[in-house]
Amino acid sequence: MKLKSVLATFLAATATISCFTACDGNNDNNTSDSEKKAGDKTTINWMDGRSTQDYQIEAVENYLVKPFEESNSNIDVNFIPTPDITQVLKIQLAAGEGPDLMTLEGPSSVGNFSDRLVDMTEYVEEYNWDEIMFDWALESCKVDDKYMSIPNWYEAIIMWHNNDLMKEHGWEVPKTVNELETMCQEAQDADLIPICYHTGGFIMGNDWALSLWYSNYCGRDRVKQLLAGQAKFTDEDFVAAIEMYNDWWQKGYIGEKQTHAISNEDSQSLYYSGKSPIFFHTTAMIGQMKQNCTFDYGMDYYPKFNDELESAVVPIACAGSLAINIISDVKDECAQYIDYIYRDTKNMAKGVEAGLSPFCTDIPTEDFSKDVDPMILQMKDIFAELEENPEMIGYCQWTFWPTATHEYQINNIEKVFLGQMTVQEFSEESQKVLDQDIAAGLVPTIP
């Protein structure tokens, strides 16, 4: 089992104390901004829940923090890796505290904190971020025509496969859903976990499979219609998507019916030890695959789940979004920092090679080293293919679902698996929540 690092655990445990102390100091109402900054360095407290492994923390410090501090000697960036960041932020922001800069789980998380965040529209215009950030990513952060967050890293849901194990059993990377199901059956017969996917202790992980099944069964246009209020979760194709997902779960293809009982960390260990031909995750795993795989491995997108679709559909997402605390005294410095790391693509490329996900901008291939991990270039190729074929682009829930709908689905899909709720009931209740989100104008912009 690959545990989260001791350092990350320690920092998470002290995050509340450090942020309350640091941010309280930054917001002393008896001291003006100019008095606080005169003769002293300004500190940006940045809380992030995506980079909590040792190698990720080191990469952030080396390639995202140090270069900025060296170019801006009057500003320090205090990076605070924080597992379970959503729960931590709910407590801190509700108390009128928290970090200056924070990495939310994605644009769909904004609804949890919207009254505690800065409207960043002026910064988008001032720094011309629409010229350097992917359009789909930047627009996904717009709520009620306001940019309440900015895209951070990007990712796509893909199939990680153990090439050595597949070769041993005579399997090819499946190109049709029938081939995928046949391989799942044969893997089961060989006492393997067909698709290694577990989210025990991490309820947010339930949206990975939900995103794939809705997008790759119903198609891009239908999901877009759903989120625009022109289709419903209770429509035949959306119900059929969850019925297929539940059917595969009940057959044991997905996590051997233990998705809710085994942690994602243990799931990774099972895959690394050769217990499964397929690991279900996103492109964000590139760094960890390189760190842990002792076998030949690869990535590909899943074949289309519905023969009526013209092509496979690959859900994409902002792997987190950056937001600024409304009580921060260093709002402008936070925006300055965001702009710097987005434009410094050479250090961004070094960070990606060290295990970070890429920010939502184009990193020139020449910025990568000659020894770059081939998976990084393959990821770039996948996104280039998606850009050329927009009908293949699907929607990850943590970026494009409104907050309440997203939270309802990830918290209740396990009830379907365990027989506590039917697929129809899940769909009907999901639609009720979505109707409320649509009426309140809380659906993110859908490209």
Among the candidates 334, 350, 377, a domain finishes at 377
Tens digits of residue pLDDT in 404-429:
999 999 999 999 999 999 999 999 99
Q: Report the domain count for the chain.
A: 2
**The model's pTM:** 0.82
Both 367 and 234 in one domain: the answer is no
Q: Look at strands 393-395 and 314-324 and give their pairing.
A: parallel
Among the candidates 357, 377, 397, a domain finishes at 377
* Residue 144 pLDDT > 90: no
Both 255 and 108 in one domain: the answer is no
- State both tokens at 298: 């690869």
Instruction: Please report the pLDDT score of residue 39 as a whole number.
Output: 57
Q: Around Cβ 76, how many Cβ atoms within 10 Å?
A: 16
Both 261 and 386 in one domain: the answer is yes
Residue 72, domain member (yes or no)? yes
Arithmetic mean of pLDDT over the chain: 90
Residue 445, domain member (yes or no)? no
Residue 444, domain member (yes or no)? no
| Residue with the larger pLDDT of the pair 252 and 143 | 252
Tens digits of residue pLDDT in 118-137:
999 999 999 999 999 998 89
Tens digits of residue pLDDT in 289-306:
988 999 999 999 999 999
Question: Across residues 281-290, what is the average pLDDT?
Answer: 92
Q: Look at strands 42-48 and 101-104 and give their pairing.
A: parallel
3-state secondary structure the chain: CCCCCHHHHHHHHHHHHHHHHHHHHHCCCCCCHHHHHCCCCEEEEEEECCCCCHHHHHHHHHHHHHHHHHHCCCEEEEEEECCCHHHHHHHHHHCCCCCCEEEECCHHHHHHCHHHECCCHHHHHHCCHHHCCCHHHHHHCEECCEECCEEEEEEEEEEEEEHHHHHHCCCCCCCCHHHHHHHHHHHHHCCCCCEECCCECCHHHHHHHHHHHHHHHHCHHHHHHHHCCCCCCCCHHHHHHHHHHHHHHHCCCEHHHCCCCCEHHHHHHHHHCCCCCEEEEEHHHHHHHHHHCCCCEEEECCCCCCCCCCCCCEEEEEEEEEEEECCCCCHHHHHHHHHHHHHCHHHHHHHHHCCCCCECCCCCHHHCCCCCCHHHHHHHHHHHHHHHCHHHEEECHHHHCCHHHHHHHHHHHHHHHCCCCCHHHHHHHHHHHHHHHHHCCCCCCCC
Q: Around Cβ 268, how many Cβ atoms within 10 Å?
A: 21
Both 289 and 332 in one domain: the answer is no
Both 127 and 214 in one domain: the answer is no
Instruction: Please report the pLDDT score of residue 27 as a whole number.
Output: 43
Residue 397, domain member (yes or no)? yes
* Residue 36 pLDDT > 70: no
Instruction: Please report the pLDDT score of residue 211 as a whole number.
Output: 98
Q: Which range, of 225-229, 317-321, 333-337, 408-412, averages the lowest pLDDT?
A: 317-321
Both 239 and 98 in one domain: the answer is no
- State both tokens at 63: 């390639």
Question: Across residues 331-340, what is the average pLDDT?
Answer: 98
What backbone torsions phi and psi does residue 282 show, to the nearest 5 degrees?
-125, 175
Question: Across residues 244-269, what is the average pLDDT?
Answer: 96
* Residue 60 pLDDT > 80: yes
Both 258 and 372 in one domain: the answer is no
Give the range of the structural domain holding residue 89, as residue numbers without chain letter. Answer: 6-154+317-377
Among the candidates 354, 377, 400, a domain finishes at 377
Both 41 and 69 in one domain: the answer is yes
Question: Across residues 379-391, what is the average pLDDT?
Answer: 89
β-bridge partners, 48: 81, 103
- State both tokens at 295: 């076998």
Both 408 and 264 in one domain: the answer is yes
CATH code for the domain in which residue 433 is found: 3.40.190.10
Residue 172, domain member (yes or no)? yes
Q: Around Cβ 132, how many Cβ atoms within 10 Å?
A: 16
Instruction: Please report the pLDDT score of residue 109 as a whole number.
Output: 82
Instruction: Please report the pLDDT score of residue 28 as a whole number.
Output: 41
Is residue 22 very low, low, confident or very high in pLDDT (cuts 50, 70, 90)?
very low
Both 298 and 410 in one domain: the answer is yes
Instruction: Please report the pLDDT score of residue 291 as a whole number.
Output: 87
Instruction: Please report the pLDDT score of residue 11 as a whole number.
Output: 39
Residue 446, domain member (yes or no)? no
What is the C-alpha to C-alpha distance for residues 372 and 171, in angstroms, rounded to an integer?
28
